[in-house]
Amino acid sequence: MVADSNLLTRLRGSDPRVLPRLATLIENEDPQGLHALESLFPFTGNAHVVGITGPPGSGKSSLIASLVQQIRKSDRKVAVLAVDPSSPLTGGAVLGDRVRMMEHHVDSGVFVRSMASRGRQGGLAWATAELVHLFDAAGFPVILVETVGTGQDGVDIAALAQTTIAVEAPGLGDSVQAIKSGLLEVADIVVVNKSDQVGADDAIRVLRTTLDLAQPPHRPRTPILATTAIEGEGIVDLACAIAAHFSQLEETGELARRRVRALESEVLVALRSSLQRSLTRKSEQSSRFTNAIDRVLRGEMTPRSAAALLSEQLASG
């Protein structure tokens, strides 16, 4: 595939329609969009991808709206990708947020997009990764990805971010839930939002204890920040913590490792989806893959052994 600097110029240029159009084409797996992504891919790998996850009611959307305002003060462009389709950021419920994001809509330095494609092949995490590549190529130095963060999808999406923020709020009874789904373990920064509400101090204390017990002693402590997003409180500190985390990743070389891991994982998701598609096509000619599946169906080998065989075949040559 040949890098297309002409397309890049249009994408980064003054026509605000290019980016949303490409995003739609890529999200729908339209060949034109995928071809464009191919030619833009060499220009990716520069953005700071920040995953923001938390249960409904934790105020993620208000937090993101405030964070966008804060980042814009330093004149950096920001893209926001809301993976939760019910997110108020992109047309949902909360009026205050909508008004706030409307302000950003006239600001060409902010691009807000919602993922609609729950049913897409390969799951939400893959679609998210491809849109992140687009925003990255479009020159956004910061990309915020908002997810509900329950279950596997949340963790998968966290895997493509370089910085993951877990948002909690007092009184949701969700702290334990978040721990269960593995989110706290992958969080680089924990935020207790709605910190003006009763129970915020308790929530922070419980989270601190849980994190300290879970973390190996030689690693830096995961910061826990208190915010009240709708008042803008704690947002400057949060923006600083995000920037500090990025610098730390750069200095230790961890940034490069996280980018590599995210791309490796994306290849594996795409491979699974591609093989799944080949099964539904049921091409008549035998192949290594369908032969292995057939042997499993005849009870001759377990799925695990079939996978080991296929994996060896990919490791040869």
The footprint of a copy of itself (CB under 8 A) covers 1, 34, 37-38, 41-45, 86, 118, 123, 129-130, 133, 150-154, 156, 180-182, 260, 263-276, 278-279, 283, 287-290, 292-293, 296-297, 299-308, 310-311, 313-317
Tokens at residue 245, please? Answer: 């985390």
Q: Taking the complex as a whole, how short is the minimal distance between the CB of residue 210 and a copy of itself, in angstroms?
A: 15
Q: Taking the complex as a whole, how short is the minimal distance between the CB of residue 309 and a copy of itself, in angstroms?
A: 9
CB nearer to a copy of itself: give 21 or 180.
180
Burial classification of residue 206, based on how many CB atoms lie within 10 Å of its CB (0-12 exposed, 13-18 middle, 19 or more buried)? middle
Pairing of strands 78-82, 142-147: parallel
Q: What angle, 0 to 180 degrees and rounded to 10, lies between the N-to-C axes of helices 5-12 and 31-40?
A: 100
104-108 long-range Cβ contacts below 8 angstroms, 24+ apart: 104/65, 104/68, 104/69, 104/72, 107/72, 108/16
Q: Which residues pair with 224 in a beta bridge?
A: 190
CB nearer to a copy of itself: give 28 or 44.
44
Q: Taking the complex as a whole, how short is the minimal distance between the CB of residue 47 and a copy of itself, in angstroms?
A: 14
CB nearer to a copy of itself: give 20 or 303.
303
- How crowded is residue 165: how many other Cβ atoms within 10 Å of its Cβ? 28
Q: Taking the complex as a whole, how short is the minimal distance between the CB of residue 39 and a copy of itself, in angstroms?
A: 10
> Torsion angle, CA of 127/178/89/77, rounded to 10 degrees?
-70
CB nearer to a copy of itself: give 108 or 152.
152
Q: Taking the complex as a whole, how short is the minimal distance between the CB of residue 217 and a copy of itself, in angstroms?
A: 20
CB nearer to a copy of itself: give 41 or 246.
41
